[in-house]
Amino acid sequence: MASPLSADRMVAALSLEGVHVAEHAGWRTHNRNSKGAWGPVNGILIHHTAGSNSLGIVWSGRSDLPGPLAHTHLAKNGTATMVGNGRANHAGPAAVNAFTAVLNESETHPRPSNASGTVDGNARLYGIEIENLGNGRDPYPAVQYQAAVRWAAAICRAHGWSANSVVGHKETSVEGKVDPSFLMDTFRADVAERLRHSAAWSPGAGTGGGTTTPNPPKKEKDMQLTDQVAVGDWQPRRWPDDKGLKDKRISVETALGSAYGHSRVAHEGVDALRKEVAEVKVQLAEVLAVLKQGRA
């Protein structure tokens, strides 16, 4: 539990962490303090905008929900625009069981339960809206994702919190929110890694490049000859077509798959043919027996 950061302290903490900060005109007095409490604060809530070019709406809000809708809007290029200083309409009611995990900086974050009751999340949580469609296909450019990590780490560092004070809206909402569209366990691990270093730390070469997909797949190890696979995975429907191959070459994978798959098909075909031949022999023997009886 802590007093909220002042506007100056917030900007200073973010800048020290390496966040590119922009200040929307009037943001220092833009809030919903007249409608409810702001503070004490206990954690950080991560959102995605579910749209594009969303800075305007995060600032002004919607007809049914006045702005600001967060404290910061994070663009695709990594620019963090400050849009609110004080209470913001971003968290809504937070499940007590989920909020308690934040309060206790628990390493596990339970599924939010409406039955546990709710607390006023807008009073207790900082919020950031990250520009993303949230459809599971729109990527988070590395510069944007790393800026989000830095933003969260900066606030944690300023308050002396651990990365377990950072949660996604989907982890607190009793209204079925699904944001953000990336894995929060991974995000918390990235925030924790930053907090193990000074605010000026930058990851070494090869870290933070490319884009971050909403749910990045686990990297698979190279296949070994002793690995077990399903037979169907190695059973092509037809022989590989080598038309157009000037040197008549195919990949080792194709060769292995085709060789095994088609040899198995051939073996099964031969077994079936043997059974048919055996049945024909029996039928032929019966016919011959009848013919012999007719001659007798």
pLDDT of 210 higher than 80: no
Contact 19, 73 (CB under 8 A): no
Contact 85, 144 (CB under 8 A): no
pLDDT, mean of residues 101-122: 97
Dihedral sign from CA coordinates of 116, 122, 128, 132: positive
Of all helices (H) and strands (E), which one includes residue 79? strand 79-82
* Radius of gyration for the chain, computed over Cα atoms and rounded to the nearest angstrom: 31
pLDDT of 98 higher than 80: yes
pLDDT at 228: 52
pTM above 0.85, yes or no: no
pLDDT at 160: 98
The band of 88, judged by pLDDT with boundaries at 50, 70 and 90, is very high
Amino acid at 78: G
pLDDT of 241 higher than 60: no
Query: Which letter does DSSP use for residue 233 in this model?
Result: G
Strands 93-95 and 43-48: unpaired
Percent of the chain exceeding pLDDT 90 equals 68
Contact 107, 26 (CB under 8 A): no
pLDDT at 288: 78
CATH for the 7-212 domain, from 3.40.1350.10, 3.40.50.620, 3.40.80.10, 3.30.70.980: 3.40.80.10
CA-based nearest residue to 125, from 192, 50, 46: 46
Contact 1, 57 (CB under 8 A): no
pLDDT of 234 higher than 50: no
pLDDT, mean of residues 101-123: 97
Give me the chain's average pLDDT, please.
85
Q: Which residue has the higher pLDDT, 296 or 133?
A: 133
pLDDT of 275 higher than 50: yes
What are the phi and psi torsion angles at 21 (to 5°)? -100, 135
